[in-house]
Every structure is written in C-alpha cells, then in structure tokens.
C-alpha cells in the first residue's frame, strides 16, 4: 500500500512554460513534505520542503503547494528550463524521533527546448 | 567537502548469492540511512544507523541487514539474493538523526543486478 503516490510517471513541458508535478498521500500523520530531484547516475538532491502548518512555500522558480484536506501537494516550476529535466520525487515524514522518509515513485520531467 | 560515496557503483550477482554494499557518509555526519529504489516503487526505506546502532527499520525481510562502524561508514548485506532484489540501493547521510530532513544527502547509489 503506497502511502505517497505520484500518479504521473512522466511529464513533458515546453521551455519557459509552467511545470506542475503532483503528489497524493494517504497517511494523515504526515506533517512534513519534501521534493527531491534526481539526475541519472546521481543520488536525489533536496529541492524544497513544506511543513503541514503552511500551505505554500516558495524558493525562486520553485513553489510547493499543500492542500491538507485533499491530502495533495504539488510542485510548480516557473519558468521551466531544459536543465530541470530530471526525475522528481515527493517524500513525506510523520515526524517524531523516527523521521524516516516515505517516497513516491517519481515523475520524469522533460523540458523541451 | 566530499559527498556521500558508495561502492561498488555496479554489481552483478546470481540468485542465492549474498552481497555487501558500502557507504561512506559526508565527513562529520554520523547518521546513515539506506533506501531501495525500484521502477514504479520509488525509494523504500530500509534502515537507519546512528552511532553504530540501528535506530529504525523499514518493512524488508531479514535477508536485508546492515551495520555501522565507529567511523560512521555503513555496510548493508543482502543474503540469498532473489531476482526481485535487483534495484538501485541508495544511502543518505546526515549530521544526526533528529536533524532537519532537508539536510539528508544522498550518494549516487549502487546498481545491483541479480541474474
């Protein structure tokens, strides 16, 4: 039973346009959410995070939105650049001392020049 | 400073064999977590070590085990390999387990293929 789901395995976007990556979760105990970016042959790198007490967090071109009632979060990238092409994972944590991450299956984003 | 290193980067084994993977965390980091990445499943948490003690364990069979040494380097072992164990195994290091989750740094992974 996947507690964090990324239902779109791939997404293609034109350079300069907005990329929207979605993530749904089922565990209401999750209180901290993160997005990671992964290039081939490299480990995931942290991109942006949001606490459950917020509904939006912005960092440059990247914005994460959290809708707790829908158990849904999304990552917006504006404007999209070819260098953004990578696999994006969303992850969640239930907090407490056992702060392990539960990851989604990832979405391959391709930004077309 | 140097990032998280994992050795070997690629490994091919046959069913029934056992394998040991190694992870050297960032200098000064004392917590190491291991994840398995398979297509369609994302990253699944295996276990976490801190100060040579396993702090947390994911939902994997006992064939998967790990340990951490006094220099914080960690190894994971998989015994009696099955075809389904073919995956990318990632380790991540952080200063301490209770640190901010966005301060967890991943290595490039070890690609294990079981034939």
- Closest chain A residue to B58, measured at CA: A100
Q: What is the pLDDT of residue B27?
A: 93
Predicted confidence at residue A96, as pLDDT, reads 55
Compute the distance between CA of residue B115 and CA of residue B106 in angstroms, rounded to an integer. Answer: 27
A90-112 pLDDT, tens digit per residue, is 999 886 545 678 899 999 999 99
What is chain B's pLDDT, residue by residue, as a tens digit (115 residues)?
679 999 999 999 999 999 999 999 999 999 999 999 987 778 899 999 999 999 889 999 999 999 999 999 999 999 999 999 999 999 999 887 655 666 789 999 999 999 9
| Residue A19 CB coordination number (10 Å) | 24
pLDDT of res. B102:
65
DSSP character string of A101-112: -EE---EEEEEE
CB B6 within 8 A of CB B105: no
Instruction: Classify residue B97 as left (phi > 0), alpha (psi -120 to 50) or beta.
Output: alpha
| pLDDT score at B103 | 75
State the pLDDT at residue A97.
44
> Do the chains contact at B102 and A34, CB–CB below 8 Å?
yes
CA distance A62 to A88: 12
> What is the rounded average pLDDT of the residues A85-91?
95
Residues of B with CB under 8 A from a CB of A: 4, 33, 35, 40-45, 48, 55-56, 58, 90, 92, 97-98, 101-109
Alpha-carbon distance A100 to A53, whole Å?
19
Across the range A1-11, mean pLDDT stands at 90
Of A34, A45, A100, the CB nearest to B56: A100
pLDDT of residue B113: 96
Q: Mind listing the pLDDT tens digit for each residue in A23-73?
A: 999 999 998 899 999 998 889 999 999 999 999 999 999 999 999 999 999
DSSP A42-83: S--EEEEEEETT-SEEEETTEEEEEETTTTEEEEEESS--GG
Alpha helix stretches (DSSP H) within B1-115: none
């Amino acid at each position: 039973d996947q507690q964090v789901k990324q239902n779109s395995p791939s997404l293609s976007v034109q350079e300069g346009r907005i990329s929207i990556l979605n993530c749904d979760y089922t565990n209401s105990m999750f209180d901290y959410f993160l997005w990671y970016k992964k290039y081939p042959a490299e480990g995931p790198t942290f991109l942006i995070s949001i606490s459950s007490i917020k509904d939006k967090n912005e960092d440059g071109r990247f914005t994460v939105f959290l809708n707790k009632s829908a158990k849904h979060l999304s990552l917006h990238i504006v404007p999209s650049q070819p260098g953004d092409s990578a696999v994006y994972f969303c992850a969640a944590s239930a907090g407490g001392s056992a702060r392990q991450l539960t990851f989604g299956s990832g979405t391959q984003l391709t930004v077309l020049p | 400073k140097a990032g998280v290193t994992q050795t070997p980067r690629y490994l091919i084994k046959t069913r029934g064999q056992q394998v040991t993977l190694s992870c050297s965390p960032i200098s000064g980091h004392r917590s190491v977590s291991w994840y398995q990445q398979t297509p369609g499943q994302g990253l699944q948490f295996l276990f976490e070590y801190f100060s040579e003690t396993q702090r947390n364990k994911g939902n994997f069979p006992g064939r998967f085990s790990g340990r951490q040494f006094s220099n914080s380097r960690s190894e994971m072992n998989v015994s009696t390999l099955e075809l389904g164990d073919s995956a990318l195994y990632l380790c991540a290091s952080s200063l301490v387990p209770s640190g901010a989750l966005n301060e967890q740094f991943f290595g490039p992974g070890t690609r294990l293929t079981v034939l």
